[in-house]
Amino acid sequence: MKFSQTTYFLGLSFFLPFAFAQAKEESSKNVFTHLIKPVLDAKCVQCHGADKDKGKLRLHTKEDFLKGGREVGKDIVIKGNVEDSELIYRITLPKDEDEAMPPFKDKEHYNPVTPQELQVMKAWIKLGASFDLLVSGLDEASQKAASHVFKNMPKKVLPSSAKLQPQLPTVPPADPKALAALRKAGVLAMPIAQNTNAIYANASYAGKAFDDKKLQLLNPLAKQLLWLNLARTGVTDKGIESLSKFTLLNRLHLENTSITDAAAPHLSKLKELKYLNLYGTTLSDASTSHLAKLSKLSKIFLWQTKFTDAGAETLKKSFVDLGKYNSLSAEQKKLKATLEQVAKSENAKLAKLEEKKNNIAKQTSDKKAINAKCPVSNKDLDETKVSTLEGRKVGFCCDKCKGKFDANPQSFKAKIKDFKPSEAFAKAESDLGKAKLESTAKTDEIQTKASKVAGQLKSLGPEVNLGWKQPVAEKK
């Protein structure tokens, strides 16, 4: 069906008022009510709502939102201060972090806050976190983000089956005075879940001011402390020595502290430790024998430490069936080598087909230009001014138009009425497309096998994480 220019403008005249009306309607909506609350309802209230208040935090109403959680209080959102607002801190943590919100349980059901949703939240807080703020009050970039959210409203993603929560230890209540002293020192200390006295303490907010001396403030919580975050604090190897009394401790963050290999013997005494983050410290392969004593360890982060790949592998082997581990490791290396070989071969094949297509694109059997008017100026043609596009001869009115076309032919291609590439070019392009699909299928098959083996290796013993590495197939 062909449309005249008049029909086009008539259609446009109906569409534009609608688009403007929609934009006006969006700009008059309330930021919290129509954008932020739907995000919280879809991604947060499952754990922080009317039926469940993990960490004593409920987010299903404005009133509960303002209360914040236990010990966090109004720090959940600090008006005008995006970086120190606990809400933003939690939802921007890497998904591997245990404190990240929403938590990562499995890839299929992971439902994180999107970049556009996050931008709206940040803008709202920066502008004072007013419940009366309208979308029109946001900056231009945040208004665009808001428009994207309106068009892609968040949906609730529920896990396929409920997972059993680990059994928490029965411990006596913590000393209120000890908790108050920690709070005064800038430490967040609160129960890790409902109906438990087990404590989570986070000193990372205090930074370097929280040193070995202030670490002693935790001593009264020796019978309650399960999770401890000392990231970016001023604790040293000497301070780590005092942690041995926390016999229930199963999660410990020590990233970006000044601890060294001298801390490892003391860490080895924390027999209940399951999660250990040593990112950005100077621990090295010399600590392997000590860390290997943490029999319940399930995840350890060694990013930007002095650990080598060999040291990390030795640590992993300390927890596994060596026969099975070595067999899977050998299979993994074989698959990686195969993937490299196949990728190299396929890339060479595709390069030849690409070159063939480009060469055919420059050749034409047309005796004269296939177009009646210049595709750049719509003027009559000068028969001496021609170019070749996808095996077809295209004419122009002058050298200037020819130059514009040659610089970006695809932008003018649509202006050539009923343009069709030559049969030779169409075949070459089709052959290249099929080859790309076949190449992708071959590498994907190997990559799938490699991923399966990697998953089996990962399931053996603790996850020893040295950081993300680019897959072989993606290397240039």
Q: What is the DSSP string of 52-66?
A: -BGGG---SSHHHHH
183 and 241 share one domain = yes
328 and 448 share one domain = yes
Strand partners, 201: 189, 228
> Which of 254-268, 418-432, 440-454 is least confident?
440-454
Angle between helices 140-151 and 5-27 (to 10 degrees): 100
- Which residues have C-beta within 8 Å of that of residue 171, sequence separation ≥ 6? 196, 197, 198, 223, 224, 248
> Which of 65-69, 172-176, 275-279, 329-333 is least confident?
65-69
* Residue range 348-360: mean pLDDT, rounded: 95
82 and 141 share one domain = yes
294 and 383 share one domain = no
Higher per-residue pLDDT: 235 or 472: 235
297 and 191 share one domain = yes
144 and 190 share one domain = no
pLDDT score for 1: 44
Structural domain boundaries enclosing 381: 371-420
The owner of tokens 């028969």 is: 383
56 has a pLDDT exceeding 80: no
Higher per-residue pLDDT: 455 or 263: 263
Higher per-residue pLDDT: 112 or 284: 284
The identity of residue 454, as a single letter, is A
pLDDT score for 73: 62
Cα 145 to Cα 138: distance, rounded to the nearest angstrom: 10
- Which residues have C-beta within 8 Å of that of residue 298, sequence separation ≥ 6? 274, 275, 462, 463
CA nearest to 158, candidates 45, 34, 54: 45
- Which residues have C-beta within 8 Å of that of residue 283, sequence separation ≥ 6? 259, 260, 261, 263, 264, 302, 305, 306, 307
pLDDT score for 475: 39
Band of pLDDT at residue 159, cut at 50, 70 and 90:
low
Cα 348 to Cα 354: distance, rounded to the nearest angstrom: 10
Q: Is 27 exposed, middle or buried (0-12, 13-18, 19+ CB in 10 A)?
A: middle
* Residue range 405-430: mean pLDDT, rounded: 93
CA nearest to 239, candidates 252, 223, 251: 252
The total of structural domains in the chain comes to 4
329 and 378 share one domain = no
Region label for 304, one of left (φ > 0), alpha (ψ between -120 and 50) or beta (otherwise) = left
**476: in domain:** no
- pTM over cut 0.85: no
pLDDT score for 401: 95
332 has a pLDDT exceeding 80: yes
306 has a pLDDT exceeding 90: yes
